A and B are shown apart, each in its own frame.
Chain A
């Protein structure tokens, strides 16, 4: 007679964490994002030069041993500017994630949990989503007046409706689950059911979505800066450096190329992170 030893079944959370730890996308994405966050945080220590100090003798120097990424038309070191730019671009991304996450969750939760509000709220979200998000962000930022805060507000308005829709979809499913019925029959109040039992189910898709929002915010901020609706100088966000380099494309392409590569790397890291999280936390979703 053989005795079969069964490993205790994994809880859903353990299963998710195990999938996450094994995901190649997640590992690479996390490593890239971590490296960029570290550079952004330590920019003041790591940057070889003062990113704002000009040096007329060194203007438009090609990349060399001293200036790895070259210098711009004021002789400012591009590597240092990209490092400080990472801090500005990542801060804008993080602030957008927080604002979008907060409002998207509240609005999506209300629409999904209280049927009375569902239709009006979701039609409003549909209307907001009809505007091309980059143009909406651009126009809102321009109308409010370009500043760091207003750029974050504009990006949040543009990314919030989709986030609300994702939270609503999870809440709609969770609302009908048996344990919610059980909590209700035990006398739990509607708000406590929403916050303690229903919203937990939206966490997975929400985290995945917010990772992509972070990526989109970095791309959109750069585009905003490029058309002149971004945060005002001297803040050298990735997009602002590219926009300045544009006038010197022919004689000094490095001003444009390096900050662009920094965007690609940051966004790629976040997208990989999002893909890994999606596979682990939200196995049912297809893409």
Chain B
């Protein structure tokens, strides 16, 4: 167990180092003069040169990289050109917004996806299977931002039940938070639910075909007991894996959905930075999201050991 965890954490650190290098390398993709790209066309050559020095772009590449690593390790992601404040500060301030939205969406996706997938497997090739799998496939084919717009049209514009956008912090008004977050979270969750349902079904089908399930059947155990006690725990590892992947996709999804519902999270920060060519925010935001994703997957992998004693003991 200890060696499994150490190996897993070591590989996460290696990937983290690469991820941070890639976020840095983003700046190499900028066509032409990077410093000039930061400023608009009216900037004088002196201004460009000054910015180049300020950004450290005039130094040798290995030195730039060493400085970037040094700064990242101390939690400094640079200064936003537009906001005139630290990128790390701006990201941390918006993290609770994005995280609360993404976790709510994940909860919706799990709560709908796992039971639907299990039911589809139990009623293999019968109507619940066909109904749930067709719905899942349809969900996978809908663009999240468009579904969000349709949700606004139906529930905010036509019915007037919910606000069409904005955000209330959970801490200040839990009910208000629920009102502002239920449409965007449902949108995100509904788009992702298909992945979880499809994987839960596949994994459950495989488990239910195993010998020990036949033995349990032969012993005369009830069907519900077999599915919940013998089936689900053994089908859990692939489901956990896909939940980890979905959590990552939700981080990406929130970036888009925050635009639709005007939610002041990390996504709006990043999209705003695209329009204003605020490269430090783009670099920092990308790195930040990747770190959150790696953390989620590290937790998922460590959860394997909790769910499956074979992982723990090997």
State the A residues within 8 Å of B (CB): 123-124, 126-128, 130-136, 138-140, 142-145, 215, 219, 222-223, 226-229, 239, 242, 246, 249-250, 253, 256-257, 260, 263-264, 267-268, 271-272, 275, 286-287
Q: 27 A-B pairs, CB-CB below 8 angstroms? A: A126-B15, A128-B22, A131-B19, A132-B248, A132-B290, A132-B293, A133-B249, A133-B252, A135-B251, A135-B255, A135-B289, A138-B270, A138-B271, A139-B282, A140-B29, A142-B277, A145-B31, A215-B141, A219-B143, A222-B145, A222-B146, A256-B146, A256-B150, A260-B143, A260-B146, A263-B141, A286-B199
* Residues of A with C-beta under 8 A to B274: 138-139, 142, 227-229
When each residue 259-290 of chain B gets 1 if its CB lies under 8 Å from chain A and 0 otherwise, what string results? Answer: 10000000000110011010100100110011
B141 touches A271 (CB 8 A): yes
* Residues of B with C-beta under 8 A to A267: 140-143
* Residues of A with C-beta under 8 A to B285: 135, 139
CB-CB nearest in chain B for A286: B202
Q: How far is the CA of A250 from the CA of B164 in the complex (A)?
A: 11
- B residues 133-164 in Cβ contact with A at 8 Å: 137-138, 140-146, 149-150, 152-153, 157
State the B residues within 8 Å of A (CB): 11, 14-15, 18-19, 21-22, 26-27, 29-31, 137-138, 140-146, 149-150, 152-153, 157, 198-199, 202-203, 206, 238, 248-249, 251-253, 255-256, 259, 270-271, 274-275, 277, 279, 282, 285-286, 289-290, 293-294
Q: How far is the CA of A31 from the CA of B11 in the complex (A)?
A: 45
* Residues of B with C-beta under 8 A to A228: 271, 274-275
* Residues of A with C-beta under 8 A to B15: 123, 126-127, 130
* 17 extra A-B contacts, CB within 8 A, seeds A127-B19, A287-B202: A130-B290, A131-B289, A134-B253, A134-B255, A138-B270, A138-B271, A139-B274, A144-B31, A226-B145, A226-B259, A249-B153, A263-B143, A264-B141, A264-B143, A267-B142, A286-B206, A286-B238
Q: Which of A123, A139, A249 has the most CB of B within 10 A?
A: A139
CB-CB nearest in chain A for B238: A286
CB-CB nearest in chain A for B199: A287
The 3 closest A-B pairs by CB, nearest first: A132-B252, A127-B18, A260-B146
B138 touches A287 (CB 8 A): no
Q: A143-B26, A268-B137, A286-B238 are in contact. Are A132 and B149 (CB under 8 A)?
A: no
A139 touches B18 (CB 8 A): no
A275 touches B137 (CB 8 A): yes
Selected contact of A138 from candidates B140, B238, B255, CB within 8 Å: B255
Q: How far is the CA of A135 from the CA of B102 in the complex (A)?
A: 15
Q: How far is the CA of A226 from the CA of B7 in the complex (A)?
A: 41
* Residues of B with C-beta under 8 A to A264: 138, 141-143, 146
CB-CB nearest in chain A for B28: A143
* Residues of A with C-beta under 8 A to B282: 139, 142-143
B259 touches A139 (CB 8 A): no
* Residues of B with C-beta under 8 A to A145: 31
Q: How far is the CA of A130 from the CA of B248 in the complex (A)?
A: 8
CB-CB nearest in chain B for A268: B141
Give min CB distance, A226 to chain B, whole Å.
5
B279 touches A143 (CB 8 A): yes
Q: How far is the CA of A140 from the CA of B274 in the complex (A)?
A: 10
Q: A123-B14, A142-B274, A286-B202 are in contact. Are A130 and B294 (CB under 8 A)?
A: yes
Q: How far is the CA of A144 from the CA of B29 in the complex (A)?
A: 6
CB-CB nearest in chain B for A29: B137
* Residues of B with C-beta under 8 A to A239: 143
Q: A128-B22, A249-B149, A271-B141 are in contact. Are A227 and B256 (CB under 8 A)?
A: yes
Give min CB distance, A224 to chain B, whole Å.
9
B137 touches A249 (CB 8 A): no
* Residues of A with C-beta under 8 A to B141: 215, 263-264, 267-268, 271
CB-CB nearest in chain B for A223: B256
Give min CB distance, B55 to chain A, whole Å.
15
Give min CB distance, A260 to chain B, whole Å.
4
Selected contact of B286 from candidates A131, A215, A227, CB within 8 Å: A131
Q: A135-B270, A135-B289 are in contact. Are A124 and B143 (CB under 8 A)?
A: no
Q: How far is the CA of A275 from the CA of B277 in the complex (A)?
A: 40
A272 touches B286 (CB 8 A): no
Give min CB distance, A70 to chain B, whole Å.
15
* Residues of B with C-beta under 8 A to A263: 141-143, 146
Q: How far is the CA of A275 from the CA of B11 in the complex (A)?
A: 33
* Residues of A with C-beta under 8 A to B290: 127, 130-132
A226 touches B256 (CB 8 A): yes
Q: How far is the CA of A286 from the CA of B200 in the complex (A)?
A: 10
